[in-house]
Amino acid sequence: MSIQIFNLLGISRDSVFEEQLSFADYLTDFIQETETSHFSGTLLPESIEGPINPWFFAQELLSKSSKLPFIAINPCFVHPLYVVRNLYNLSTFYQRPMYLNFITGGSAADSMKISDVLSKEEKYNRLNEFITIVQELLTANESETYSFKGKYYTLDNIVFKGSLPAQLQPVFHIAGSSEFAQQLLQQKKMIQLKMGESLSKLSLNASQKISYHFGIITRETTEEAQEVLKFFSKKDRKRSILQQISIKQSQSVWKESVYKCYKASEEDTVYSLQPFVNGYSDVPYLVGSYEDVSTYIQTYIEKGVESLIVEIPKTGFDEIQQINSVIRKLNITS
């Protein structure tokens, strides 16, 4: 059974966990840890206020490791030509395919900071045009000109010599669970990236390819893992209130649904929304012994999940190595 498992460095909101390293050392250390792990690569997020340029990180990852970059792309930051050119350069130079996660951004407050005032539906319409251009340019006949005329993008008779062979074509994902995201997923036949679900509430559809995103806290015993969870996401009234405000202001359907799941959730000894509800993360967590967490993930895989994105919590401990103990128990081939 083949599946790709990517990591994502979680950003702690507590200064006590901040790294005492330079930016260069910080990235280098994370890349080296990933290289010696059982992860397939790293998801590189895109954010308005984050310091890391995902394309820069992708090149560092490709040049210093054997792993695969999984890049989040938001049309409010880049033009499709920029994306295609970067894909062509990196994929052909390093002879590795890239993974892409197309997003529209989930925070209305963040959108206002850069005057991206489109409605949710308009953002997905823009994303539709964006993806269409990227797909067509990557497979375009290099001896012909290319034109595209849409509401958000216009390209007029350009000659783009940057198409990719089949083995280097990127693996496309679209993040989102709204009706607009669902419509685009059906139209583009791409993989949906969504939050990991409790096994009691799995909503996998055989006709739709799914990738799951979640965090992991694991140790030899469940009791040890629960102690780390308490330390990582201890209750804080101010933080919880801010998270509730964020959920209400968010344009993301998944945030609302995850919170509703928490309020009406059945007892699950592994699946935890504590870091999410307490404001320490934006994803659900699997918490427990190596055996219990690996069994949980194996069920995801056997149900047909395409790939997994695992947030690495910044607890002050070496969580990548702990999670490696879970991955080694899985019946998979990368």
The domains of the chain are located at: 4-230+283-329
pLDDT at 150: 97
Strands (E), 199-272: 210-219, 271-272
CATH of range 4-230+283-329; options 3.40.50.720, 3.40.50.1100, 3.40.50.300, 3.20.20.30: 3.20.20.30
- Cβ atoms of 310 and 294 within 8 Å: the answer is no
pLDDT at 244: 65
Burial class of 81 by CB neighbour count within 10 A (0 to 12, 13 to 18, 19+): middle
Q: How far apart (Å, rounded) are the C-alpha atoms in residues 84 and 275? A: 36
Q: How far apart (Å, rounded) are the C-alpha atoms in residues 248 and 253? A: 10
Which residue ranges of the chain lie beneath pLDDT 70?
1, 9-21, 50, 106-109, 238, 240-267, 334
Instruction: Give the angle subtended at the CA of 74 by the CAs of 82 and 76, to the nearest 5°.
Output: 80
pLDDT at 10: 52
Q: Collapsing DSSP states into helix, strand and coil, what is residue 98? A: coil
pLDDT at 88: 96
In 65-192, which ranges are continuous DSSP H helix? Answer: 80-94, 108-113, 120-138, 179-188
pLDDT at 80: 96
pLDDT at 111: 74
Q: How far apart (Å, rounded) are the C-alpha atoms in residues 119 and 140? A: 31
Torsional sign, CA 7, 46, 93, 213: positive
- pTM of structure: 0.89
